[in-house]
Amino acid sequence: MSVTAAADLVPRLQEAFAGYLGLEPAEVDPDRPVEELGLDSLTAAQLALDIEERLGVSLFLNDLTGRETLAGLAAAVLAEDRS
């Protein structure tokens, strides 16, 4: 993956989430739990596939419907990518 820091990945995740939520990327709070952003399970599954295609980042559906934040997801992805 070309992203080297969570600070680089978070805005890209915000952009992806914003597209599915009908928001501007800046309106997607990276410190708010993903489950509070209002995605249903079908939309979350579509978003997970879109993120993988766009960013080369694999997320599990439960990552997009749980208590994790975008900032937390970005950190976890980067930690996994370096393993």
| pLDDT band for position 1 (cuts 50, 70, 90) | very low
More confident position, 34 or 6: 34
CA distance 53 to 40: 20
From the list 4, 24, 13, 17, the residue with the least C-alpha distance to 55 is 13
End-to-end CA, the chain:
13
Residue 31's pLDDT is 93
CATH number at 6-82: 1.10.1200.10
Residue 4's pLDDT is 59
CA distance 53 to 69: 21
Per-residue pLDDT of 11-64, as tens digits, reads 999 999 999 999 999 999 999 999 899 888 899 899 989 988 988 888 887 888
Residue 82's pLDDT is 54
44: helix, strand or coil: helix
